Amino acid sequence: MDVANHLSDYLVLRNTLLPEDNQNPYLLVSGPAKGLHNQQVRNYFHQAIKEIGLTQAKQIIGNTNISGTTPHSLRHSFAVNTLRRIKERGDSPQTGLPVLAVYMGHKKYTYTIYYLKLIDADQHRNLVDFMIKYPLRL
């Protein structure tokens, strides 16, 4: 099931449980006409991550620091996976930067270019892992 279907199911359930609140502009609600505060979202997110076993410690890949899992990680994951799909299609990830930058609300491409570094760092890590697993024997 994709994210759109999960969100649709959530909204149906929310509208059933809070019918008087079906015009609430917030996706995640704490009550009628109220949204969740940032700390509430973070607490629920970390609780869900712990329950499903997705906790991840801070990593360093190449010269890129990757922090532990946070709600903001979802944005990073979306951006990196979008650029990977573009690359897997045989296109240059740079061609998708303008659209991705607008979609993510970046005012400068330099903010979006950061995600290319993550793809490069991941490829570098895969190359190092391969070289360790299959060392060159002369």
Q: What is the pLDDT of residues 25-69, one digit of tens each?
A: 777 777 777 777 888 888 888 888 888 887 777 777 666 666 778
Distance CA 115, CA 82 (A): 10
Q: Are strands 34-35 and 29-31 parallel, antiparallel or unpaired?
A: antiparallel
Q: Compute CA distances 74 → 1, 34, 103, whole Å.
A: 17, 23, 14
Distance CA 43, CA 136 (A): 47
pLDDT at 126: 59
pLDDT at 29: 78
Name the DSSP class of 94: H
Q: What is the pLDDT of residues 64-121, one digit of tens each?
A: 666 778 888 788 888 888 888 888 899 887 788 888 888 888 888 778 887 777 776 6
